[in-house]
Amino acid sequence: MGDIENRRAAPSDFVDERADGPGVVSVAENDPAAPFYRLLSKLRAPVAMRDMMMAPVRACYRGEGLAIDPAELPPSAAQVYPQVLVSTLAVPSDAGPIRCECFTPPGDGPMPMMLYVHGGGFVVGRSEDTAYVTSRIAAENKFIVVSVNYRWAPEWPFPAGLDDCMAVLRWMRDAGADIGGDASRILVCGDSAGGNLAAALPLRAREERLSILATVLLCPLTDFHFEKFASYERLAPTGVVIDASFMGFARGAYLTKSQQWRDPRASPALGDLNGYPRTLLISGTADPLVDDNRAFAEKLTAAGVEVMHFIGEAMPHGFYFFPGVLKETDAAFAAITRFVAVALQS
């Protein structure tokens, strides 16, 4: 038990709390334009444009300053699934300890494990934001779900976030038994930007001969050339949950070079999908990314991969996040349960 307790310690230097990455703006004193930058810093704050854009995005995403009547909110994950134990893990990596939340349902182990990757456009988001999703998956499927808090762009651009996810996947293989998991039955799941990272993980894992049983992708982005899709051109200009403005910013924050758009680690739809694990995609027809998801499903099928694709009619990006709001949420989670049951029997 002592070893497990040590792994669950919560050091103050988790990688997702670090803001010293290569994307942080700095100006050398001997820069010929330093006087201009110093004056600019007195006229606006933050001085760098990407920092200026990030501050309100992160504040608004967290709902800072909003006075919300608790009666108008759906029940919390802890209220809906009180039987799911939530603990904090400190997973070691070359970059430093990675904070993960571990969602453990009641029952005897070893249990299958799922690595969950939250969304947020690569620039925002925490495992706490998706606690309803991870708690429900854990409770309904008897999985131990490990939800990773990876490094954000633009402070930490590609491939830092993916590297963090891969480090946690390795740890689950090597030390998952410490938390009651079965390292021979590991699945990956992610939503939105996290769906992109989850979709890229099998390609990375294949390089290391690390086995992934199945992949569950919730409204993922699988190809950074998203303007080529008809649903994006039709829906993104006036999108509500995500739109063209945010998608362009997120891409520029995460991928600092246009050549990276073609890298399969960033755009997994462009990779070699032979031998890819069986996959479930969850999408909505009101999501600008629905055609991206359809195209990825078609490419997987062409590569001989078993694919299920649940598409919610008139459903937006991330429609599955809240309990009791949309009936399609229950249908989506029922699809997950059917899919993973088949995967575990294979």
Q: Residue 207 in contact with residue 265, Cβ under 8 Å?
A: no
Annotated catalytic residue, options 223, 231, 292, 317: 317
Question: Is 243 marked active-site?
Answer: no
Active site residue 291: no
Catalytic option among 16, 191, 287, 291: 287
**How many angstroms separate the Cα of 171 from the Cα of each of 117, 137, 193, 261?**
15, 21, 22, 28
Q: CB 324: neighbour CB atoms within 10 A?
A: 10
Which of 127, 135, 147, 192 is flagged as catalytic?
192
Q: Per-residue b/e over 309-321, b at no fewer than 16 CB within 10 Å?
A: bbbbeebbbbbbb
The verdict on whether 258 is a catalytic residue reads no
* HEC assignment per residue over the chain: CHHHHHHCCCCCCCHHHCCCCCCCCCCCCCCCCHHHHHHHHHHCCCCCHHHHHHHHHHHHHCCCCCCCCHHHCCCCHHHHCCCCEEEEEEECCCCCCEEEEEEECCCCCCEEEEEEECCCCCCCCCHHHHHHHHHHHHHHHCCEEEEECCCCCCCCCCCHHHHHHHHHHHHHHHHHHHHCEEEEEEEEEEECHHHHHHHHHHHHHHHCCCCCCEEEEECCCCCCCHHHCHHHHHHHHHCCCCCHHHHHHHHHHHCCCHHHHHCCCCCHHHCCCCCCCEEEEEEECCCCCHHHHHHHHHHHHHCCCCEEEEEECCCCCCCCCCCCCCHHHHHHHHHHHHHHHHHHHC
Report the 10 Å Cβ neighbour count for 36.
Answer: 11
Which pair of structure tokens corresponds to residue 67?
């006075």
Instruction: Provide the annotated active-site residues.
Output: 192, 287, 317
